[in-house]
Amino acid sequence: MAATKIEFRLRMLIMTVIITLGFWAPWTGDWGAGHRIPLLEWLALQLSRPGLLSFNVAAPAVIVLASLIAAVGMVLRVWGTAYLGYGTVHHGQMQAGAVVADGPYRYLRNPLYVGGWFMVAAMAFLMPPSGALFTMPLMTVFFLRLI
């Protein structure tokens, strides 16, 4: 099901609300739904508990993973925006005159949304685990609706 015109017009506000709720995670602590530690620390602890890695190695490894995910998102967003131009990307209405099949659009149908998803995934490493678990499925569904 496609996004409505109002969802498309308010897409930045909707994404901001979802991400803010993920960072805030009001259900954590008060409702007993997890601990208020960042996902990256939680993942490092999970890797160190069975003895796969020491925490001193696991924490930087998780940070490097999050950084690589953020870099992929940044490259896709910058490349897609540079190829389309500022006027098209920041226009209030959907611009669908012709199919673009050059630049990053040769490899991905929607590099801006895929890049945005990767950037949110990198931000999720800073959220509480339950906030990340809330944010990523909602953002995935929202991006799919926008696409």
Question: Could you report the per-residue pLDDT of 35-56, keeping only the tens digit for each?
Answer: 789 999 999 999 999 988 999 9
- Band (pLDDT 50/70/90 cuts) for residue 88 is low
Average pLDDT value for residue range 57-83: 94
Instruction: Extract long-range pairs of 144-147: CB within 8 Å, 24+ residues apart.
Output: 145/1, 145/2, 145/3, 145/7, 146/3, 146/7, 146/8, 146/11, 146/113, 147/109, 147/110, 147/113
Percentage of the chain with pLDDT > 90? 60
For residue range 92-143, what is the model confidence (pLDDT) as tens digits?
A: 555 556 656 677 888 888 898 999 999 999 999 999 999 999 999 999 999 9
User: What predicted TM-score, i.e. pTM, was given to this entire model?
Assistant: 0.85
